[in-house]
Structure 1
Amino acid sequence: MSVANKAIPSLSGVYKAPLLIGSILITGGLSLLIWLGWSLLHPTSSEGAPYQYQKVAEGKIEDFSDLEDLKNYENLGISILKYELTAEKVQKTPLAEFYTGTRDKKDSPVLLLWKNNLREPIITITSGAKDLNDLAQAVIQHVPKTGMVLSWWDTSRRLNLLTDITTLFHTNNIAEPIIIPGPWTNQSKGIRKFENEFWQVSDSNKERKQLGDLVDAFLADETTGVSMLRSFTKNKDVYIVVHYSDIYKIGVMEPNRLGIGFKDFPNQGQTHALIPHVKEWVEKNGYTSYLVERLDKDVIRAYFLTDNSSKDTLIAKMLPFNSSNPARLQELRLLAQYGGYWVYSLPMDSNK
């Protein structure tokens, strides 16, 4: 189980959440427990990052089986680099693998896919390639050239790379939040420096403010939040995209304003057959609101909200928690779902 809560301040004043390890269910769990035990006996230095990114391959989309679902974009000439996150003091095999893409070598890299080899998130979370393809294809087919998509900064950059649609964040990486495992919290300064350099994070106060404003909108009530979303653009064709992982990332950034955690369950059959077990666990632990995501054929992830006020936030109402009904939002119109992505249209303010 992992709960996003207040831990240590980052250089930018945003709080990062340590991962509270309750139970590790499947592959990767043993390694993580060994890691936790090792870290207690071998304190690490607070200087530098305790891991590195090693480039292991480069090519085009068609050269990587993990990106097979993105074959629709092979003609865009996107250059792909594959990296491994290694920390030999933890284990010899990679803790994570990821793919970046660019159309021009001068551009900062766009994270297309991040694969955690541990069940606890490390550094970040992304959707799978299939969900990303389905979302991007829908954008290409249904969003007019004059339209605009509002979404989390990393989703924005992926859509901009694959579709050329106008997005709120399209030029620079922001690298927020960085999900730092508990054993590494005393090295957060070095980790942030390393991540900022690798992702070529700019010093743009404008984009950081925009991200902060987006977080404020998602954490407001529905009416206030939608009004804040409208303030981002005067465009008449505006679409909002949210992903299951977005609400967890917001919880990592703002643990005092949004209480959220998750627990992974072994997938032993149909997802709906596991729902009663998830519901029983949620209620037993004093929570009331949850949603279920199938990560892969082996794992079901249940995100749960830890307090009643979190249920009233716009982001919670836009996602299929058992306490929400996305189809009945008064201020937004639900258009489609693509895996963990939920897509809405943002009507113009009728008072203007």
Structure 2
Amino acid sequence: MIGADTTDRAAPVVRSGDRLLPSLGIFLVTGGLLLLGWFVYLWFKPIPAPYQYQLVEESDSSKFSKIDLTGWPDLKLGQYKVQADGVGKPIAEFIVARQNDGAPVLIYWKNSTNEVLYNFDRKPSELTVLAEAISKYAPKDALILSWWDTSRQIKLLTGHDTFFTHHLNEPLMIPAPWLEHSKEIQAYEKQFWQSKADSVELERFKHFSRALAAPAEDGIKQLRQLIGSDRETYLIVHVTDVYKLGLMYPESIGVAYQNFPMTGNMHGMINQMKVQVKENNFDTYTLQSVSDNEIRVFFLSDEESSQTLLARMLPFVDKTAPTEQDLAQLIYQQGGYWVYKLP
């Protein structure tokens, strides 16, 4: 149910794309009676956006303990809660950062439900450690190529030139009953994040994401063609990108995920993952450490999905390891982030 602690049991498998479409029936039962009531309310009483971002507090980096930004004292931070109509408790919370009067950049997200909701939780320390490494080792004139949300974070924290600079909100990850409000949600998000993306940047992102969903060798070539020069470029991918890619291109990559509570019985957890692979006829899986108490497992549906560029650049079980790939030079890894030098 909304507000429930998701670490006390394994969440249901959630699938992206047409090939692995989530069941609305499972969705409602999982959420419980309160969640069902919430969706019934939204279904018969449409509103411009079925949630609101409410400011809790604004301060500098010294006041927020959920993410350590003491190395960036000039940033202005704002803590928000996500409040859905008809639900008493916030369904998520997040922190944004901005430089001077710039647009807000999402740097922390915590979902309080068991459902797909706008973003994926990540360990905050992984981002700051990655940013410090880029600032220290990447040449100042190097280009950073990554999903638009990671791009905005890296640009804010390092000042490096990134291929994407605006909040693109692609794909839109919302619960199924909210789909009829997609246009209103997109408008609300664009206004909140002060997005000024033009058609050129949106088209570039389509080319970028298509390259990640293409067969690996072709995808690498497409990325270099997208850059349009031999400029030194570093490609950053994150484990959660694979689910977002599955939502955008279900015909190319089928993805599902499931959360598991961290226990001392790692052997038992691995057995659970193998059961999911067998029961659903999945091809492989990889892990993301969400917190000290929870891990997330991403499954790929078939061999074709495993041969996409993004899948090849992530550590999927029984597949060629990133350290052994000949697609691009792996130069750094931090948590769920993998950094490659584009050939």
Q: TM-score, normalised by structure 1?
A: 0.86
Asked if structure 1 preserves the Cα contact closer than 8 Å seen for 2:50 and 2:85, the reply is no
Amino acid at match of 1:188: S
CA distance in 1, matches of 2:270, 2:162: 36
1:229 Cα deviation after fit: 1.1
- Are 1:5 and 2:48 matched, yes or no? no
- Deviation per CA, 1:243-290, whole angstroms, max 9, x where unpaired? 011111111122232210101122212656622321222122211211
Pair 191,235 (structure 1): closer, same or farther in 2 beyond 3 Å = same
* 1:303 corresponds to: 298
* 1:137 corresponds to: 132
Amino acid at match of 2:258: K
CA distance in 2, matches of 1:325, 1:84: 39
1:35 Cα deviation after fit: 4.3
| 1:82 maps to which of 76, 79, 83 | 79
Pair 78,125 (structure 1): closer, same or farther in 2 beyond 3 Å = same
* 1:96 corresponds to: 92
- Are 1:62 and 2:62 matched, yes or no? yes
CA distance in 1, matches of 2:46, 2:221: 43
1:318 Cα deviation after fit: 0.5
- Are 1:204 and 2:198 matched, yes or no? yes
Asked if structure 2 preserves the Cα contact closer than 8 Å seen for 1:287 and 1:307, the reply is yes
- Deviation per CA, 1:101-130, whole angstroms, max 9, x where unpaired? 11121x221111111111323112253210
Q: How does 1:11-30 map to 2 (within 5 A)?
A: 19-20=22-23
| 2:218 maps to which of 220, 224, 243 | 224
* 1:161 corresponds to: 156
* 1:14 corresponds to: none
CA distance in 1, matches of 2:96, 2:29: 29
Instruction: Tell me the matched-pair count.
Output: 328
- For structure 2, which runs of at least 5 residues remain unmatched after alignment? 1-12
Pair 87,40 (structure 1): closer, same or farther in 2 beyond 3 Å = closer
Amino acid at match of 1:161: L
SS for the counterpart of 2:258 is strand
CA distance in 2, matches of 1:264, 1:139: 30
- Deviation per CA, 1:56-106, whole angstroms, max 9, x where unpaired? 1001111111122x32222xx1111111100141x211111111111121x
Amino acid at match of 2:220: V
CA distance in 2, matches of 1:217, 1:117: 33
- Are 1:245 and 2:240 matched, yes or no? yes
My pick for the range that moved more, 186-195 or 137-146, is: 186-195
* 2:4 corresponds to: none
Q: How does 1:315-334 map to 2 (within 5 A)?
A: 315-322=310-317, 323-334=319-330
My pick for the range that moved more, 263-272 or 237-246, is: 263-272
SS for the counterpart of 1:100 is strand
1:321 Cα deviation after fit: 0.9
Amino acid at match of 2:80: Y
SS for the counterpart of 1:228 is helix
Asked if structure 2 preserves the Cα contact closer than 8 Å seen for 1:18 and 1:185, the reply is no
My pick for the range that moved more, 107-116 or 279-288, is: 279-288
* 2:33 corresponds to: 34
- For structure 1, which runs of at least 5 residues remain unmatched after alignment? 8-16, 348-352
Pair 187,53 (structure 1): closer, same or farther in 2 beyond 3 Å = same
Asked if structure 2 preserves the Cα contact closer than 8 Å seen for 1:47 and 1:189, the reply is no
1:316 Cα deviation after fit: 0.5
* 1:13 corresponds to: none
1:39 Cα deviation after fit: 4.3
Amino acid at match of 1:102: R
CA RMSD of aligned residues (A): 2.3
Q: How does 1:332-351 map to 2 (within 5 A)?
A: 332-347=328-343
CA distance in 2, matches of 1:207, 1:114: 25
Pair 55,335 (structure 1): closer, same or farther in 2 beyond 3 Å = same
| 1:266 maps to which of 244, 261, 265 | 261
Amino acid at match of 2:339: V
Amino acid at match of 2:125: K
